[in-house]
Amino acid sequence: MIRIAIQAKGRLSEESLELLKEAGIQVDDTKRKFLSQSRSFPAELLFLRDDDIPQAVALGVADIGIVGYNEVLEREQDVEIVDRLGFGPCRISLAVPKTVDYPGLEWFNGKRIATSYPNILGKFLKEKGIDAKISVITGSVEIAPTVGMSDAIFDIVSSGGTLVSNGLKEVEKIVFSEAVVISGRNPDAEKVKVWEQIKFRINAVRDSRNMKYLLMNVPNDRIDEAIAILPAMRSPTILPLAQSGWSSMHSVVAEDVLWDKIELLKEIGAEGILVLS
């Protein structure tokens, strides 16, 4: 039995649950408890605050965890990043009041910076030789300059809307984050085997999210050109149609190039094009 720690409630919890569910690790989340056993896989889910996930994994309370990379960096626990998941993208940035005529990092010398990420910020300032005072605040960091608690902030930014509505501007992007999978340093062999299974499933789910299944009819004398347009995972599937001179072609195509490929396929005479998720 492998134990997976995920965020109980917050920005990463739904997507973490959804990803595990698509990977065949389902729990009855309507009755979400602190610990829930999966009905479909030898795993149990431990629901925690995101702040506690790196430590839970480092201590072996959970075997693996899904958490923001920002928390992994901040908590400085002995864990390994084994996979990047792509959801929950954000950055941790330095922001100053929008009226500041910002000259560069030296502006922060002698300033007070409010943050919930003192370790990451402390290291960064030290590395850059900036002498600033760090004030640790756990919530609503963005209001600190307005109420006179700090001159600047170091906080998570996603769309940037929160900064703008608090009269701040982003001046330095320091860390880029996304949800990651972490594991302890020395998992036992049995757990590694189960984890490899989960990893395979997660990768398959993640890959399929960005892929589309494409079906079309192609004149037989243009098949070589169609294959050149559509290099699939191995190569496209081709089936003869009842109507002579035509074949049906099936392939898997990355979403970001799908429409360009379809234009090229139309130019070589492909018809009846269908796109499936």
Which residues are registered as beta bridge partners of 80? 183
160 binds, among Zn ion, ligand PRT, none (CB under 5 to 8 A by kind): ligand PRT
User: Does 156 interact with ligand PRT (rule: CB under 6 A)?
Assistant: yes
In 3D space, the residue among 196, 214, 110 whose CA is nearest the CA of residue 152 turns out to be 110
Name which of residues 71 to 100 contact ligand PRT (CB under 6 A). 71, 88, 90
Decide: is 7 part of the binding site for ligand PRT (CB under 6 A): yes
Nearer to ligand PRT, 202 or 270 (CB): 202
| CB-based contact 182:74 (threshold 8 Å) | no
| Paired strand residues for 256 | none
- In DSSP terms, which residues pair with 196 in a beta bridge? none
Beta carbon of residue 38, minimum distance to ligand PRT (angstroms, whole number):
21
Whole-angstrom distance, CA of residue 183 vs CA of residue 134 = 30
Side by side, which strands form the sheet with 90-97? 133-136, 112-115, 152-157, 90-97, 168-177
Helix (H, G, I), strand (E, B) or coil at 62: coil
Least separation in angstroms between residue 184's CB and ligand PRT is 20
Rounded least distance, CB 73 to ligand PRT, Å:
10
| The binder of ligand PRT chosen from 24, 97, 118, 160 (CB under 6 A) | 160
* Residue 38 contacts ligand PRT per CB under 6 A: no
CB 71 within 8 A of CB 170: no
Which residues bind to Zn ion, rule: CB under 5 A? 50-51
Which residues bind to ligand PRT, rule: CB under 6 A? 7, 9-12, 49-51, 68, 70-71, 88, 90, 142, 155-162, 177
